[in-house]
Amino acid sequence: MASRTLPPTIEWRDGDLLLLDQTRLPHEIVVENIADVQAVWRAIRELRVRGAPAIGVAAAYGLCIAMRASTALPIAQFRAELVRHAEYLETARPTAVNLSWGVRRMLRHSRDIDASDAATLYAALVDEATRIHEEDRALCEGIGEYGMPLITEGCGVLTHCNAGALATTGLGTATAPIYAAHRAGIAFRVYADETRPLLQGARLTAFELQQAGVDVTLIIDSAAASIMSQGLVDVVIVGTDRVAANGDFANKIGTLGLAIAAHHYGIPFYVACPSSTLDLQTPGGARIEIEERNAEEVTHLAGRRIAPEAMKARNPAFDVTPHALVSGFITERGIVRAPFERSLRSLFAAEGNAA
C-alpha cells in the first residue's frame, strides 16, 4: 500500500479538518488545519486537495466546517445556511463530479433528518461525512481487487496524472490495482507521465509509488506514444473526474492522446471509476463542463516565466475521451465493458449521481 511516511490526505480530528497540501509535495510535507468554508473552497480550487474522490470527501467535511459554529441557530436558519454554503462549495471546480456529489449527498441526508435543533442536525452531518470518507477507502479497495488481474508478471503499466492514494483517502483509483499487485508480489513496471502543466505525475504519482517500493519510471508526456511503440506498455490505467452515461469520460488533459495512441498500438485502455464519479445524468462527453485554468500555469514553471511576454495560452484542465477508445471501467463492483450506456446504468442506476 502507499507509504505511511505520508500523513493522511484528509483527516477529521475532533471537529478539525486537516488537509495534506499537495502543492508542496514532494519537497515539503505540510498539513493544514482548515479554519472555515472559504479556506476549504480555496484548498479545492488551488489544488491543495485534489483528485475527484478526495475532493468529494473534502467537500462533505467542508460543509461540517461551514456549520460547526452555527449550532445555536434556529433549525430553519441552520438549514438555509447549509444550502447557501453547499452552493458556494460547488463553485470551486466544475469538472469533477465528486464535488457536487458529496455536497448534494450531504444535503439529501440533512433533509432526511427530522431534527428539532441545529446541534442534532450538525452531528448527523458529521456522521454522514464520516461515512463518505469510510466508503471512499472501501471503493479504492474494490477497484484494486477487480483491477489487479490486469497486471501480470513482467508487464508494463502506463498511467497519467495522479489517481493515486494522494487523490483519494485510500489506495487511489488508477493506482489501486498497482498497489494490490505489488502487495501480491507480482513483478511489473510502471511508467508515470509527468503531466504538464502542474506535473502531478512527476510530483505526486512518481513520488508515492517510489515511496511504496513500486518499480516506477517517470517519462515526459510526449514520450508516451514512443514508449508504447517499443512494446514496453501492456496496459494503460487512468483515473477520471467524471464519466457520462454513454461511457465518455473527462480526465486530466493529455488522457485523450494516450487513448488514441493505445488504440493505435492495440494496448488495452482502462479507466478506474468509483461509483461516486459516475454521472448518469450527463448523456455524453460533449455536455461535460471543462475547467479552464489560469494561463500562467502554462506560461510559467515554478514561478518563472518560460514563454514570451504577453503570450496567449490555453489551459484546459481536462479533456474528454470518447467511450469507443475505452476497454473497460474498473469499478468497485467489477470491470464494466461495452455497451457502456447499458452496463453502467444496470450496475449503478441506484447511485446518487444516477438519480
For the stretch 91-101, pLDDT in tens is 999 888 899 99
Say which residues have a Cβ less than 8 Å from residue 83's Cβ, sequence separation at least 6: 107
Please say whether the beta carbons of 218 and 292 come within 8 A: no
Could you tell me the pLDDT band of residue 4, with boundaries at 50, 70 and 90?
Answer: very low
Q: What is the pLDDT of residue 257?
A: 98
* d(C-alpha 199, C-alpha 134), whole Å: 29
Q: What is the pTM of this model?
A: 0.91
Q: Give CATH for domain 143-354.
A: 3.40.50.10470
pLDDT digit string, tens, across residues 224-239: 999 999 999 999 999 9
**Residues placed in the known binding site:** 50-52, 93, 200, 251-252
* d(C-alpha 249, C-alpha 131), whole Å: 26
How many angstroms separate the Cα of 55 from the Cα of each of 52, 205, 225, 226?
5, 17, 30, 33
* d(C-alpha 271, C-alpha 206), whole Å: 19
- Determine the average pLDDT of the residues in 278-291: 96
- Determine the average pLDDT of the residues in 38-60: 95
* d(C-alpha 115, C-alpha 124), whole Å: 9
> Domain residue spans in the chain?
10-141, 143-354
- Determine the average pLDDT of the residues in 262-275: 97
pLDDT of 149 higher than 50? yes
Sheet architecture: strand order including 328-331: 216-219, 189-193, 156-159, 235-238, 269-272, 328-331, 334-336
Tell me the pLDDT of the chain averaged across its residues: 94
Q: What is the pLDDT of residue 353?
A: 56
Grid cell of 271 as nine digits: 479507466
Q: What is the pLDDT of residue 6?
A: 82
* d(C-alpha 259, C-alpha 235), whole Å: 11
- CATH topology match: 10-141 vs 143-354: no
* d(C-alpha 317, C-alpha 298), whole Å: 11
Say which residues have a Cβ less than 8 Å from residue 241's Cβ, sequence separation at least 6: 52, 95, 96, 97, 98, 250, 251, 252, 277, 318
Known catalytic residue at 215: no
Q: What is the pLDDT of residue 2?
A: 41
Say which residues have a Cβ less than 8 Å from residue 152's Cβ, sequence separation at least 6: 186, 188, 234
Q: What is the pLDDT of residue 332?
A: 96
Grid cell of 93 as nine digits: 471546480
Could you tell me the pLDDT band of residue 348, with boundaries at 50, 70 and 90?
Answer: confident
pLDDT digit string, tens, across residues 245-255: 999 999 999 99
**Total count of residues recorded for the chain:** 355
Please say whether the beta carbons of 17 and 10 come within 8 A: yes
The H or E element that residue 57 is part of is helix 52-67
pLDDT of 3 higher than 50? no
Q: What is the pLDDT of residue 351?
A: 59
Query: Position 32: which residue type?
Result: E
The domain 10-141 having CATH identifier 1.20.1240.10: the answer here is: no
Instruction: Give me the phi and psi of 331, to 5 degrees please.
Output: -115, 175
**Residues placed in the known binding site for substrate:** 50-52, 93, 200, 251-252
Closest C-alpha among 326, 301, 324, 298 to residue 312: 298
Q: What is the pLDDT of residue 282?
A: 96
Of the candidates 136, 221, 241, 319, the residue annotated as catalytic is: 241
pLDDT of 140 higher than 70? yes
* d(C-alpha 155, C-alpha 233), whole Å: 7
DSSP annotation of 150 reads G
Number of helices and strands in the chain (H, E): 12, 16
Burial 241-271 (b: 16+ CB within 10 A, else e): bbbbbbbbbbbbbbbbbbbebbeeeebebbb
Q: Which residues pair with 279 in a beta bridge?
A: 244
Could you tell me the pLDDT band of residue 354, with boundaries at 50, 70 and 90?
Answer: very low
